[in-house]
Structure 1
Amino acid sequence: MGPEEGPPHETAYDTEWGDGVRHAARCAGAFLVMLLSVDAAADASSWARSALWAGLALVLLVILVPARVAAGDGWVSVRGLLGERVVRTDRLVAVRWADGVAGRVVLRDAEGGRVELDPHILEANPELWRLLDAGARSSCAAPDGTLRCGTAELRRLGARVDGETARTVFRLSGLE
């Protein structure tokens, strides 16, 4: 490594993403088997109907595959069905909760980047949270102080991540 390359950059990924993909594939496969079984039981099987059911199962698979979340020094990216979105955590301007059926954490940066994250991803991956939190802290501590909205949400999220990490440690050590 030459001096112009600088130190290696740390990148963390959602460690449960592969499980989510496998779960999506199992659901789509079960859906396809169910549709083909109903066709076979009704004596309505044909190549065209089977192709239609396979297409519907493929659409379900595409919908169910979770977004791939990664974080590094000063950034978080979410790669989903419609492409990749990146936000600079060291230039955050807002952090907010999007409540609803599936709660989301919405991050916005000074360059106009916007990502939505499932808070459970951060709870299950403390390394992702550590990188996000470090970037958010630097955006608060910067002389221009870009993060103006969302410090309470970050504290709330940090408490959730810390609680889940403690529960995991207790569970793995047999103290639960």
Structure 2
Amino acid sequence: MIVLYNFGIGLKEYEERGLLNEFPLFTHCPNCQCHAPGNLHRHGFYWRNGVTEKHVVRRIPICRLRCQRCRMTISVLPDFLIPYFQYTLRAVLLRVVEILEKKIKSEGRQLLRFHLNRYLRQVKWVHSYFVEQGEVRGLSNDKRKEATKYMKRILDFGESSFLRRSQGHLSRYFMAN
């Protein structure tokens, strides 16, 4: 299980702190909701890449916890990362915005095309999240226009805030397949 957490710092500082980051202490298991003290144990770390918009690769530790009651392993992922993506949330969103606004061409750039296509498939998911929040109604037939509108809304909302708050919406993650 992945839990997104706001460490209040960026990728560079998170990397510099390494294992000395202030990892959260939970009062309840995120899965079974049992009382955490005595049940949630540190289960080590794994190392993961975080790639910035300038393609700088940073190796960062991800804290793992294990609930003794439900046996679920929980990964505490910084909210500037998208689950299962190496590029940071900001890097992906900025590149998609550039493509949508036609500042760069995505033809021939496999990773850009992948991120754009994944986002375009998510537009209805993003729309349903904002409808659930009571912020919008109706969806036009122009997919690119809607994609641009919602991308601006996500950036205005704050990309990390959006990622944390939308976690679990329709039982999926943002940009999940």
Q: What TM-score, normalized to structure 2?
A: 0.31
Q: What TM-score, normalized to structure 1?
A: 0.31
